[in-house]
């Protein structure tokens, strides 16, 4: 054989071997800080973030390591959006509704007053275009986000005094979250958004007169029953609540397809885990609250009707002033109108 052909053949073999070796090389490991808006010890809200941290490590064989960071460990709880956007942290564990002041439309990917239950909400997110819209909205801010949890209905609030009429709400100072806060403002309530760890002292000191936060098992953990004894249902403002894993977009885009799939799979599992756990732990928590002197109330129809009317006004205002909010609201509303055909036929009333 001609020497040149031998050399060319050998060189080609070396190049092919290098190419194959490179293709088979183990993906570069990822070590990210995941700044949480919730304490790791907080039932569901925090513990689900810990679960995600642990499961990603297992599923990836240690190639992806998310380190759960307590609120304030790197940045305060309500500064996670900016931290992830700028790359100060690679990931954040939160819910989109916290970023209403920056991007109002993100609230619709968190919880909707008089909105869908878990099954309907997830159907819209994954098969009605919701998830894709959420990622489109986050992208200009340098964030890629994936839905990574959902929990059962919340309670609608803790009050120091019994509420028997719409008039009783007027003038109250209340911690309230998301779109529901705008509804309460229509009812004459002065609202403010506080991180979970700041609520109890504000309620105890009288800085606020009332609060909503989450479901019974979570509220029990935070001890609100020690300073307010009137607990109201149903959670008209949050029939289900979505949580997301926010990731710096540059960091996310640098992942391999396998790593992206591993994160996506763990988030899907966390949705299953969080919803099932949330439904399983509420009745024991309610029993414990009642043992501690909590009076459990359901809103009378006239107050619920007034709240729903106020919600209609809030939506009309947001749709008129924010084109992006209007686009998402139209998508969700159209899906819900179609879903109602199935809901009315398939489910017991």
Q: What is the pLDDT of residues 272-294, one digit of tens each?
A: 999 999 999 999 999 999 999 99
Asked if residue 195 lies in contact with residue 37, where contact means CB atoms within 8 angstroms, the answer is yes
Q: Residue 28: how many CB atoms within 10 A of its CB?
A: 10
Q: Residue 51: how many CB atoms within 10 A of its CB?
A: 19
Q: Residue 260: how many CB atoms within 10 A of its CB?
A: 16
Q: Which three-class secondary structure state does DSSP give residue 196? A: helix
| Six-digit token string for 250 | 């540059």
CA 216, CA 227: separation in Å to the nearest integer? 15
Which helix H or strand E contains 279, and what residues bound it?
helix 257-280
Residues in the chain: 349
Asked if residue 153 lies in contact with residue 241, where contact means CB atoms within 8 angstroms, the answer is no
The pTM score is 0.89
Which helix H or strand E contains 325, and what residues bound it?
helix 323-346
| DSSP alpha helix (H) spans, 174-239 | 178-186, 196-205, 216-222
The rounded percent of the chain whose pLDDT value lies above 90 is 90
pLDDT at 16 over 90: no
> Cβ contacts of residue 332 below 8 Å, gap of 6+?
108, 112, 116, 124, 128, 130
> Cβ contacts of residue 321 below 8 Å, gap of 6+?
none
Mean pLDDT of 145-163: 96
Higher-scoring residue by pLDDT: 141, 197: 141
Asked if residue 172 lies in contact with residue 210, where contact means CB atoms within 8 angstroms, the answer is yes
Q: What is the pLDDT of residues 43-84, one digit of tens each?
A: 999 999 999 999 999 999 999 999 999 999 999 999 999 999
Asked if residue 215 lies in contact with residue 280, where contact means CB atoms within 8 angstroms, the answer is no
Please name each of the domains of the chain with its CATH number.
29-152+239-280 (3.40.190.170), 157-238+286-321 (3.40.190.10)
């Amino acid at each position: 054989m001609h020497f040149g052909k031998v050399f060319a053949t050998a060189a080609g073999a070396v190049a092919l071997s290098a190419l194959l070796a490179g293709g088979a090389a183990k993906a570069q490991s990822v070590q990210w800080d995941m700044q949480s808006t919730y304490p790791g010890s907080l039932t569901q809200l925090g513990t689900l973030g810990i679960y995600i941290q642990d499961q990603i490590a297992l599923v990836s064989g240690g190639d992806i390591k998310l380190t759960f960071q307590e609120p304030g460990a790197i940045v305060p709880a309500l500064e996670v959006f900016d931290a992830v956007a700028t790359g100060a942290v690679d990931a954040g564990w939160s819910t989109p509704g916290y970023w209403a002041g920056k991007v109002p439309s993100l609230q619709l990917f968190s919880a909707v007053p008089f909105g869908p239950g878990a099954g309907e909400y997830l159907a819209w997110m994954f098969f009605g275009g919701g998830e894709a819209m959420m990622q489109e909205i986050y992208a200009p801010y340098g964030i890629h986000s994936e839905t990574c949890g959902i929990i059962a209905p919340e309670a609608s609030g803790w009050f120091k005094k019994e509420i028997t009429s719409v008039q009783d709400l007027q003038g109250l100072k209340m911690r309230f979250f998301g779109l529901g806060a705008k509804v309460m403002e229509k009812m004459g309530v002065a609202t403010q958004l506080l991180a979970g760890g700041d609520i109890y002292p504000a309620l105890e000191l009288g800085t606020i007169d009332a609060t909503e936060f989450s479901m019974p098992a979570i509220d029990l953990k935070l001890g609100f029953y020690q300073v307010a004894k009137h607990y109201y249902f149903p959670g008209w403002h949050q029939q289900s609540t979505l949580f997301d894993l926010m990731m710096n977009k540059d960091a996310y885009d640098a992942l391999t397809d396998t790593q992206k799939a591993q994160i996506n799979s763990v988030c899907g599992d966390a949705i299953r885990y969080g919803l099932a756990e949330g439904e399983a732990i509420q009745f024991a928590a309610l029993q414990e609250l009642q043992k501690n002197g909590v009076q459990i109330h359901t809103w009378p129809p006239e107050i619920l009707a007034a709240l729903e009317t106020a919600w209609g006004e809030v939506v009309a205002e947001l749709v008129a002033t924010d084109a992006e909010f209007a686009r998402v609201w139209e998508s969700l509303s159209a899906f819900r109108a179609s879903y109602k055909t199935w809901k009315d036929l398939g489910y017991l009333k």
